[in-house]
Amino acid sequence: MMMAAGTMPAEDIAYPVAKVSFKDFEGLVAEAGKHRADRLVDLDTFLKMSREPGVIILDTRSQFRFDRIHVKGAKHLNFSDFTQANLAEVIPTFETTVLIYCNNNFEGNQTDFASKIALPRPKGRVTPAEQFSVQERPIMMALNIPTYVNLYGYGYRKVYELHELVDVKDPRIIFEGSIVDKPDKPGVGK
């Protein structure tokens, strides 16, 4: 068995192992994936749910992107700051309905809602024409998925995910943030 430099068989590990379990994560993804299947909503449903008392819209993008533009009324917790304590500060109870969205839900602003997509790397040397004929499908790397899985893992079951791709100029959606038009300041957004 060939091993990467600096790695050793599990039985030969002589240091404390990091608090990381791929097996735990795999199990959680499988369980959360089944749960998530019935909780994907279109924009109209998302907006209707957002108006219900006690419902939270959670944005887990970076603080910088959130400050620039976010769905009106959204609360922020950067995904990298997820802990039980931090989530409890933003989400009052496990019974709270949480609506989530990410960059991959919006088009028309690739600066603040840049699509998270891993494009396949061509194998070997190919011409452009050959590349299109053999190219694999891109892999969607949306933040919605790890956000959903982690919320589920932390015990939140009333999570719903925006499933629709929405143009940022869609009149149904209202944004807030530093780049959003103010009545006295023309700019991008509305």
Domain harbouring 88, CATH code: 3.40.250.10
Residue 14: other Cβ atoms inside 10 A: 5
Average pLDDT taken over every residue of the chain: 89
Cα-only R_g, the chain: 20
- Estimate to the nearest angstrom the gap between the alpha carbon of 165 and the chain centroid: 13
Per the structure, how many domains does the chain have? Answer: 1
Residue 77: other Cβ atoms inside 10 A: 19
**Host domain of residue 90:** 22-176
Confidence at residue 130, expressed as pLDDT on a 0 to 100 scale: 59
Tell me the whole-structure pTM to 2 decimals.
Answer: 0.83
Interatomic CA distance for residues 84 and 150, integer angstroms: 10
Residue 93: other Cβ atoms inside 10 A: 9
Please indicate, yes or no, if residue 51 is contained in any of the structural domains. Answer: yes
Interatomic CA distance for residues 93 and 106, integer angstroms: 29
pLDDT in tens, 139-188: 889 999 999 999 999 999 999 999 999 999 999 999 999 999 765 544 44
CA-wise closest residue to 145 among 168, 162, 157, 133: 162
pLDDT at 189 over 50: no
Please indicate, yes or no, if residue 2 is contained in any of the structural domains. Answer: no
Angle made by CA atoms 1, 15, 79, in degrees to the nearest 5: 90
Residue 118 pLDDT grade (very low, low, confident, very high; cuts 50, 70, 90): confident
Q: Are 161 and 46 in contact (CB under 8 A)?
A: no
Please indicate, yes or no, if residue 87 is contained in any of the structural domains. Answer: yes
Confidence at residue 13, expressed as pLDDT on a 0 to 100 scale: 84
Residue 137 pLDDT grade (very low, low, confident, very high; cuts 50, 70, 90): confident
Pairing of strands 56-59, 75-76: parallel
Dihedral, 142, 154, 62, 47 alpha carbons, nearest 10: 70
- Residue 162, burial from CB neighbour count under 10 angstroms (0-12, 13-18, 19+): buried
Please indicate, yes or no, if residue 60 is contained in any of the structural domains. Answer: yes
Please indicate, yes or no, if residue 125 is contained in any of the structural domains. Answer: yes
CA-wise closest residue to 161 among 28, 38, 1, 19: 38
